[in-house]
A and B are shown apart, each in its own frame.
Chain A
């Protein structure tokens, strides 16, 4: 009886894993299937042979190289700048005393409750006033300061003992040196987790780039793929090849940094 129940439970969790992964499998499968075989009836679960034909067609007929480069520029810039700006703020909020510290921190954390969709239009107008529309800056600059990143890094820094800082101050180290030489190196785990999250969410962002960009050659991958879909409605081989180009790097990052990933998720959610 126990054995039967246990087998049923394993079947249950495996079915959830299959239905969760099936769309991902179907993307890879279609991307490597010859276009003429894709719409055969009934569809095959496994293609008769694998081909790179869809990818070569994709790289020839679309601006995907531009999109990849744009996505990389956007994600790398946001990650580097965000980590710098947010870790500086986190250091001040966790280790320094200054007037207005508490209400500033409260105000920043309170922005978590305002969905980005609410401030979409005013932010657009401000970016347009700053003459940044249709440039990658329009995506990068508003995304640098993140309440989640500041909160996550601050929580971690609070757990660093003050003794290290006091000792350095005795030796006459400046606040900048303490931040750069002591606090940042000690915060590596949380910085790594924040970097991964920031990189992935910038890479996957869609609505904001869709609004602030006009020129096809400046699109990131997500927006590029959505236009590709509208031009090639039923060329699924092409679409899935594009989807693979966007998804594969994130899957690789996920598996390569799984340890940091899980740790980051847990520290961000349960202690909040």
Chain B
């Protein structure tokens, strides 16, 4: 019996070995390196320990504050909008017949399978200031054309706009799955008490899909904070530095300026912010979940 166990244990280790080796080389070692390098001056000439110099230096960059502000603005608008619209649209779709439900669901989800680069290319064309269709439409209805991506005061808002008008496909599907698993008897009991549709929605549906809300809040926040592809294609961080975001700044610092130490320090800051926000969301939402339940 004992010999058999150990043979099986060996099999287990052999089965996880390839995955584990890849994780060690491409995830665990890089994660440790990112932290170590943040305290080094690391460039093409060599490596030197510099303590907190990289961080001090970064805090003097104007670009850093612009990136922080743009990333925060984008995240603070897009994440609540995605969650709210996903909740509303999923709730409505649940009331439709299966055929109609499938059509709307597919329509909302379709852009999600398309590369962000492709979506950004399309918006570059839609928002072209001189002959793009959106400005043409504005002129046709008697409004002035808008210098969408070329005016530094408007450019970041234009990027936000391109995500604001799109339905949050994956959130809608996850909410629909969560709503589908709420027992019908809950609603029937509420109906006996004479609860209206709105009351049932607010008192039963919304509290019971909280775990999905928590999952979406965290995952949408990480995705929003990591915005890069759209900025790269639509503005290249410009005009000037008007649309620089955190990941765009990391990219520029590492692969345009080859300033590895400072790029690592930026990555560490980025990671700390992401973790703090996730923990905060987890605490807030799981707390209100307990209170609501």
A residues with a Cβ closer than 8 A to B are 9, 12-13, 16-17, 19-21, 23-24, 26-27, 30, 39, 41-43, 85-86, 88-89, 91-93, 96-101, 104, 107-108, 111, 113-126, 141-142, 144-145, 150, 175-176, 179, 200, 203-204, 206-207, 210-211, 221-223, 225-226, 229, 234, 236, 239-240, 242-243, 246-247, 250-251, 253-255, 258, 262, 265-266, 269-270, 272
Contacts and interface: CB of A to CB of B under 8 A. Distances in A.
A176 B267 CA distance: 41
Contacts of A226: 117, 121, 232-233
A122 B104 contact: no
B117 A121 contact: no
Contacts of B118: 27, 222, 225, 243, 246-247
B278 interface: yes
A253 B116 CA distance: 17
Contacts, number: 278
A89 B18 CA distance: 8
Contact of A107 (B8, B28, B122, B181): B28
A235 B26 CA distance: 39
A258 B106 contact: yes
A229 B11 contact: no
A24 B109 CA distance: 12
B173 A266 contact: yes
Interface residues of B, number: 91
B140 interface: yes
Given A21-B110, A85-B22, A229 B121 contact: yes
10 contacts: A21-B107, A23-B122, A89-B15, A104-B20, A108-B19, A119-B26, A119-B33, A122-B30, A126-B26, A222-B115
Contacts of B63: none
A254 B116 contact: no
B136 A92 contact: no
A270 B211 contact: yes
A17 B247 CA distance: 30
Contacts of A250: 113-115
B20 to A, nearest CB: 6
B30 A88 contact: no
Contact of A122 (B33, B137, B169, B255): B33
Given A145-B26, A266-B174, A96 B115 contact: no
Nearest to A5: B197
Contacts of B37: 121-122
B274 interface: yes
A104 B18 CA distance: 13
Contacts of B125: 26, 30, 236, 239-240
A221 B115 CA distance: 10
A97 B177 contact: no
Contacts of A206: 115-117, 228-229, 232
Given A111-B27, A120-B250, A207-B251, A251 B33 contact: no
B277 to A, nearest CB: 11
Contacts of A126: 25-26, 29-30, 33
Among A101, A114, A118, A200, find the residue whose CB has the most chain B CB atoms closer than 10 A.
Answer: A118
